Amino acid sequence: MTPRRTQRLLLIGLVVAGVAVAVTFALRAFRENLTYFFSPSQVAAGETPSRTFRLGGLVLENSMTREPGSLTVRFVVSDLAHEIPVQYTGVLPDLFKEGKGVVVRGRLGAGGEFVAEEVIAKHDENYTPPEVADALAKTRGRVTK
């Protein structure tokens, strides 16, 4: 091989190695930043990880309680089969409402209470997040079977 070719080959090799390293790092970071979605039934069955995940379902009617004037609120998320108590401190989104769909992000605390870092409830009030709709459909399927 001519020196010119060797040089070029070396350059290509370096670029490929560099790209490989970059992609590896990117994908590893990607995996760490994924949050999975679980339904209350899956949480009750103990399928959930110890790290942060998302939980979705309907906010159970009359389940919302708070010390008057306090930012901390407790409510129950249900998929009509299982119920998970949730605790959250902060401003609730405008469209958060009992009987409507909600997705919360956080982790499972001691005593089975889900501690939410973020509460997501958006769009019009008749809207159910697709994950929640899916989870509810699964429950209905099991009930009719």
Partner 1 sequence: MIPEVGQFALILAFCLALIQAVLPIVGAARGRAEWMALARPAAAGQFVFIAIAFGALEYAFLNDDFSVLFVAQHSNSALPIFYKFTAAWGGHEGSMLFWITVLAIWTLAVAAGSRSQPEEFASRVLGVLGIVSCGILAFALFTSNPFIRLTPAPADGNDLNPLLQDPGMIIHPPMLYVGYVGMAVPFAFAVAALFTGRLDKNWAKWTRPWTIAAWMFLTCGITLGSWWSYYELGWGGWWFWDPVENSSFMPWLVATALLHSLAVTERRGIFKSWTVLLAIAAFSLSLLGTFLTRSGVLVSVHAFAADPTRGLFILGLLAVFSGGPLLLYALRAGSLEAEGGFKLLSREAFLLANNILLVIAAGAVLFGTLYPLIIDSLGLGKISVGTPWFDAMFLVPMLPLAVLLGVGMHSIWKTMSGTPLIQRLIWPAGIALALGVTLPLLAYGKASALTAIATVIALWVCAAALLEPLRWWVLRRGAPLTRAQLGMCFAHFGVGVFILGATFVSAYTVETEVSARGGDRFQVGGYDILFRGVKPVESANFTAEEGEFELRKGGRLVTVLASQQRVYRVQQTPTTEAAIDSRLGRDVFIALSKPLGDNAWSVRIQVKPLIRFLWLGPLLMAIGGLLAISDRRYRLAARESAATRAVAAAGTT
CB atoms within 10 A of CB 1: 8
DSSP codes joined into one string, 94-115: TT--TTSEEEEEEEE-GGG-EE
Of 2-10, 77-85, 107-115, 119-127, the window that binds partner 1 (rule: CB under 8 A) is 119-127
Interacting residue with partner 1 among 30, 46, 50, 145 (CB under 8 A): 30
**Options 2, 4, 34, 143; binder of partner 1; rule CB under 8 A:** 34
Could you tell me the two tokens for 25?
């790092």
Quote the least distance from Cβ 53 to partner 1, whole Å: 10
Position among 87, 100, 134, 138 found at the interface with partner 1 (CB under 8 A): 134
Beta bridge partners of 115: 87, 107
Toward partner 1, which CB reaches closer, 110 or 132? Answer: 132
Which pairing describes strands 83-89 and 101-108: parallel, antiparallel, or unpaired? unpaired
* Continuous segment of H or E residues that includes residue 130: helix 130-144
Interface ranges with partner 1 (CB under 8 A): 26, 29-30, 32-37, 54, 66, 68-71, 90-92, 94-96, 122-125, 129-131, 134
